[in-house]
């Protein structure tokens, strides 16, 4: 069975025949560099260092593996969010950078290297995001309660002032009615009784 001829690939720099697999690696290397540098600036170095945690002993990570690992995280980092257990949390670039740096510089004793996936990192970022969201919700609820209490106090104060004004007015009218009675000016039938009832709150 005849084998198909392989078209040689020449190095653009020196003209030597290049290995096909090396050429593929170089192409994937360029793609990885682009994927890495498209991240927010403060995440580039932490991402590069974090990817080293996936390197097997005595073996380098291929560009293909680096590209795959980076692409698994880059959409979430650029969108400033993290997806974990079917839940989406807000996660700014600062949170991602801090979590990756912490794993590299202060790896927990339970961390087994090399890493096989991003589960550990995602759990850290999601946990911190959930804590921040809960704190923000608690503060928002406190502000709502404070506004409700302030509004209720203002309404109670206005009602009390209105009631005092009404009673003062009724008291003045009662005094006028009594004065009219003393001056033998007969007030309308039942007027004094009605005024007495309206001023009961003053006594």
- Specify whether the backbone of 167 is left (phi greater than 0), alpha (psi in -120 to 50) or beta: alpha
| Domain total of the chain | 2
pLDDT digits (tens, 9 = 90+) for 122-156: 999 999 988 887 776 777 788 888 787 776 656 66
- Rg, the chain, Cα only: 39
Domain stops at, among 114, 135, 156:
135
pLDDT band at 103 (very low <50, low <70, confident <90, very high): very high
Residue 178 and residue 200 in contact, taking contact as beta carbons nearer than 8 Å: no
pTM of the model: 0.61
The answer as to whether 1 is a domain residue is: no
- Measured from the Cβ of residue 78, the count of other Cβ atoms closer than 10 Å reads 14
Q: Dump pLDDT digits (tens) for 42-52.
A: 999 999 999 99
Q: Which of 28-37, 93-102, 136-145 has the lowest mean pLDDT?
A: 136-145
pLDDT, residue 151, reads 67
Shared domain check, 123 and 31: yes
Average pLDDT over residues 54-68: 93
Domain end residue (candidates: 112, 135, 158): 135
Q: In terms of residue numbers, what domain contains 190?
A: 140-202
From 82, 100, 135, give the residue that closes a domain.
135
A 10 A CB-CB count for 84 gives 19
End-to-end Cα distance, the chain: 118
The half-sphere exposure of 132 on its side-chain side, counting CA atoms within 13 A, is 12
Least confident of 8-12, 13-17, 23-27, 42-46: 8-12
Q: Are 99 and 195 contained in the same domain?
A: no
pLDDT one-digit tens code per residue, 154-178:
666 656 667 767 777 777 776 776 6
Tell me, yes or no, whether 46 and 89 share the same domain.
Answer: yes
Q: Provide the β-strand partners of residue 87.
A: 84
177 and 100 co-located in one domain:
no
């Amino acid at each position: 069975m005849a084998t198909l001829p392989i078209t040689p690939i020449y190095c653009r720099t020196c003209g030597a025949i290049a290995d096909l697999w090396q050429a593929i690696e170089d192409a994937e290397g360029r793609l990885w560099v682009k994927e890495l540098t498209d991240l927010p600036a403060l995440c580039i170095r932490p991402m590069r260092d974090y990817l080293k945690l996936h390197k097997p002993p005595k073996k380098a990570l291929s560009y293909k593996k680096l590209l795959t690992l980076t692409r698994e995280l880059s959409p979430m980092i650029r969108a400033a969010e993290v997806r974990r257990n079917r839940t989406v949390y807000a996660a700014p670039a600062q949170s991602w950078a801090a979590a990756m740096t912490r794993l590299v510089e202060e790896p927990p004793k339970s961390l087994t290297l090399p890493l096989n996936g991003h589960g550990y990192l995602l759990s850290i970022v999601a946990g911190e995001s959930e804590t921040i969201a809960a704190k923000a919700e608690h503060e928002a609820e406190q502000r709502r309660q404070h506004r409700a209490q302030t509004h209720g106090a203002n309404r109670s104060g206005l009602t009390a002032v209105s009631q005092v004004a009404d009673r003062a007015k009724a008291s003045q009218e009662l005094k006028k009615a009594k004065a009219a009675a003393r001056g033998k000016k007969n007030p309308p039938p039942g007027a004094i009784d009605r005024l007495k009832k309206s001023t009961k709150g003053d006594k």
